[in-house]
Amino acid sequence: MAALTVGVLVLLLVWVRILPGLPSAPGPSTAPTHVPAYYYLTINQRGVPLGWSWDAELNGTNYGSITGSPDQFYVLNGTYTYAVSSPGYVAYPSSGSVLVAGGPVTVNVTFQLPP
């Protein structure tokens, strides 16, 4: 009986190795070799009174009214355009582009009353 069990086991091992197209046992984990890194792009504002709203736009998408500062975005490496505004105030700079390349980036904006 033991010879029969060993024979069946050997036959199964040979069968699994020889027949193409059969699923094989899973190998080592195939974890991704590159995981995208995200960084903070922060827009800081000065000059708008507490409680007064200001708008931020990133790459053409308006993120609505913000009260306070800062406004943070979690982004991949790349170049981003931004624009800011606030009713009754002028922003310096009011728009521009910023490069995120391997670390967090901060844009400082100053709002002033119009001359």
Q: Which domain holds residue 55?
A: 39-112
25 within some domain: no
10 within some domain: no
pTM score: 0.68
Where residue 65 sits, what CATH number does that domain have? 2.60.40.10
Confidence of residue 115 (pLDDT cuts 50, 70, 90): confident
Give the chain's largest Cα–Cα span: 101
Q: pLDDT per residue over 47-72, tens digit each? A: 998 888 999 999 999 988 888 778 89
Cβ atoms of 55 and 66 closer than 8 Å:
yes
95 within some domain: yes
Number of domains composing the chain: 1
Q: pLDDT per residue over 66-113, tens digit each? A: 887 788 999 999 999 999 999 999 999 999 999 999 999 999 999 999
22 within some domain: no
108 within some domain: yes
20 within some domain: no
9 within some domain: no
Q: pLDDT per residue over 20-32, tens digit each? A: 444 555 556 666 6
